[in-house]
Amino acid sequence: MAILVVEDEEGIVSFVRRGLETAGYQVLAAGDGIDGLTMALSPDVDLVVLDLGLPGIPGEEVLRRLRQRRPSVPVIVLTAKDAVSDRVANLDAGADDYMVKPFSVSELLARVRARLRTGGQERGDVLAAGGVVLDLGARTASVEGRTVNLSAREFGLLEVLIRHPAQVFSQPQLLDRVWGYNFDGASNVVEVYVSQLRRKLGPGRIETVRGAGYRLAGGAR
Amino acid sequence: MAILVVEDEEGIVSFVRRGLETAGYQVLAAGDGIDGLTMALSPDVDLVVLDLGLPGIPGEEVLRRLRQRRPSVPVIVLTAKDAVSDRVANLDAGADDYMVKPFSVSELLARVRARLRTGGQERGDVLAAGGVVLDLGARTASVEGRTVNLSAREFGLLEVLIRHPAQVFSQPQLLDRVWGYNFDGASNVVEVYVSQLRRKLGPGRIETVRGAGYRLAGGAR
DNA sequence: TGGCGGCCTGAAAGCCACCTGAAGAACGTC
DNA sequence: GACGTTCTTCAGGTGGCTTTCAGGCCGCCA
């Protein structure tokens, strides 16, 4: 886990650095807003500790720009002010948490942990196979990083397939698992939904095994 | 202040209990992970002392599940291991503090006090996600700096959603978490409240996932 | 090569999940 | 007890999703 500290006071940087490194984090530091913003845009940075009292660009501006480019990275703001209105203003501006100077290292650590825990990736189980990623908690799907909108049935069908990559499921099996029907042979719903899924996922993701059923292509991608 | 001790060794339980009760805390005890998890989910419990060397469910699993349901409760972990990697692993897994056996009662008390001081109120009194800020103390929400006041139900619903940004919750799940119904089936209260919340928060904050439930829109802040 | 059966897919109809205004019931306050 | 607020139920309306249907395609086999 890499944490970026954007702070101009040398003393605070070394003091924070020691605490974070002891707790097992990798620490990067930037002395002003420009450097801070540049470094914060790197995907290697998992969390940002940002001082608002920076020389040059105001910290609020750094925060705003960072939010535009990387909306999901947790940011903990350091400030000297403690008015409630400031607090709310900062949270509105995109900070995830807020600390007033002076602060203790243990307090910082607690907030870092809390942010990496909840703000980071609190997602339910994520399934991935054949270049397709299914987030069961957020109910989203993506192919090669591209987000795909799925309806309930489409999602259910893909979930069954992705839970058992490369395994072939017959139409009756899928009808049972996805639709809950125990009966009825005269419906081509499965075919229709496979067709729709293929259109959304792109070609080559779902394979037909003639006379047997369908499977998710499991190959390395 | 009620503290839950999850520990299978009788000796340690009575020894810890005596220390905590002398210091004025109310003490609950559980002998295994299942009981521990059940009791820890009660809102009466203000802090959890968790032994990782439990019979049955591994303590790490208890910790993980507890974090999903009650992200804000402070947890102090007891363990026999002292490797730095273990320590980091536990903190990442959701522990707020960490003690290696054997330990002294005074050390435990110091850590309990520290946790109840910082964790008790500081954390979790303001939540922010998806452009919405929830002030748990004032029971208000604000969107883009504009304050909106919410009724109890509205607040409860929004709190569940904002604690798990981008996660989709089904109507039965929300009925359970916000209304406490175990089951009903024929009610559209959730729909009505989502509708009211949308009116107050403005469009685009709460998304409907047809056939699955609702979620707080993440991303753009 | 022709025929058959399994599979594909566009389009249309029906359904059902969801939305929302309104009204009555429950609650708290004075 | 009267009032205002909040909670819940109800009913009508809407749109997206699901399913069916029909026609065409394609692989397999005689």
Mean pLDDT for each 10-residue chunk of chain B (221 residues)? 88 85 85 86 83 79 78 79 52 66 72 61 60 80 86 91 87 84 75 95 93 81 37
Residue A147 (CA) to nucleotide D24 (C1'), in angstroms, measures 32
When mean pLDDT is compared across A82-91, A133-142, B42-51, the lowest value belongs to: A82-91
More confident residue, A105 or B134: B134
Helix (H) or strand (E) holding A17: helix A10-22
Q: Strand C: which positions are within 7 A of a protein CB?
A: 6-11, 17-22
Measured from Cα to the C1' atom, the residue closest to D6 is B151
Peptide bond just before B102 cis, omega within 30 deg: yes
User: CA–CA separation, B99 vs B176, rounded Å?
Assistant: 35
More confident residue, A193 or A13: A193
* Count of pairs with CB atoms under 8 A, one residue in A, one in B: 85
**Closest Cβ opposite residue A110 in set B118, B142, B219:** B118
Does residue B188 lie within 7 Å of nucleic acid chain C, judged by its CB?
yes
The shortest C-alpha distance from B96 to chain A (Å) reads 7
Question: Is B139 touching A (CB cutoff 8 A)?
Answer: no
Q: Write phi, then psi, for B132 (nearest 5 degrees).
A: -110, 135
When mean pLDDT is compared across A6-20, A148-162, B77-91, the lowest value belongs to: B77-91
Asked if residue A18 has pLDDT above 70, the reply is: yes
Amino acid symbol at A141 = A
A-chain residue closest to B130, CA distance: A94
pLDDT attached to residue B81: 62
CB B142 to CB A94 under 8 A? no
Question: Is A64 touching B (CB cutoff 8 A)?
Answer: no
Question: Is A94 touching B (CB cutoff 8 A)?
Answer: yes
The chain-wide mean pLDDT, for chain A, equals 80
Helix (H) or strand (E) holding A147: strand A146-148
A-chain residue closest to B123, CA distance: A111
B-chain residue closest to A67, CA distance: B221
Which tokens in the block code for residue B107?
A: 């050390």
pLDDT attached to residue A48: 92
pLDDT attached to residue B157: 94
B-chain residue closest to A25, CA distance: B88
**Closest Cβ opposite residue A88 in set B84, B142, B221:** B142
Does residue A192 lie within 7 Å of nucleic acid chain D, judged by its CB?
yes
Look up the pTM and report it. Answer: 0.56
**Closest Cβ opposite residue B221 in set A67, A114, A116:** A67
pLDDT attached to residue B136: 77
Which tokens in the block code for residue A42?
A: 């790197």
Q: Give the three-class secondary structure for A113.
A: helix
CA angle B180, B186, B188 (to 5 degrees): 75
**Residues A24-45: what's their mean pLDDT?**
82
pLDDT attached to residue A84: 43
CB B133 to CB A72 under 8 A? no
Measured from Cα to the C1' atom, the residue closest to D20 is A187
Q: What is the pLDDT of residues A61-77, one digit of tens each?
A: 888 788 766 766 788 88
Question: Is B135 touching A (CB cutoff 8 A)?
Answer: yes
CA angle B66, B71, B74 (to 5 degrees): 85
pLDDT attached to residue A199: 94
More confident residue, B44 or A195: A195
User: CA–CA separation, A217 vs A204, rounded Å?
Assistant: 7
Does residue A154 lie within 7 Å of nucleic acid chain D, judged by its CB?
yes
Question: Is B211 touching A (CB cutoff 8 A)?
Answer: yes
The shortest C-alpha distance from A8 to chain B (Å) reads 26
Instruction: Give the pairing type, strands B206-209 and A97-100.
Output: unpaired
Which band of pLDDT confidence, cut at 50, 70 and 90, is reported for residue A117? low
Q: Which residues of A touch B88 (CB under 8 A)?
A: 23-24
* Most confident of the ranges A9-13, A133-137, A157-161: A157-161
**Closest Cβ opposite residue A91 in set B122, B126, B165:** B126
More confident residue, B211 or A55: B211
**Residues A119-131: what's their mean pLDDT?**
63
pLDDT attached to residue B78: 83
User: CA–CA separation, B159 vs B186, rounded Å?
Assistant: 24
Does residue B173 lie within 7 Å of nucleic acid chain C, judged by its CB?
no
Asked if residue A35 has pLDDT above 70, the reply is: yes
Q: Which residues of A touch B83 (CB under 8 A)?
A: none
**b/e code A99-126 from CB counts within 10 Å (16+ = b):** beeeeeeebbbbbbbbbbbbbbebeeee
Which band of pLDDT confidence, cut at 50, 70 and 90, is reported for residue A119? very low
Cα Dmax for chain A: 75
**Residues A166-187: what's their mean pLDDT?**
83
**Distant-in-sequence, close-in-space partners of B24: CB < 8 Å, separation ≥ 6:** B1
**Distant-in-sequence, close-in-space partners of A13: CB < 8 Å, separation ≥ 6:** A5, A7, A29, A31
CA dist list (Å): A17 to A6, A52, A55, A116: 11, 18, 20, 17
pLDDT attached to residue B121: 35
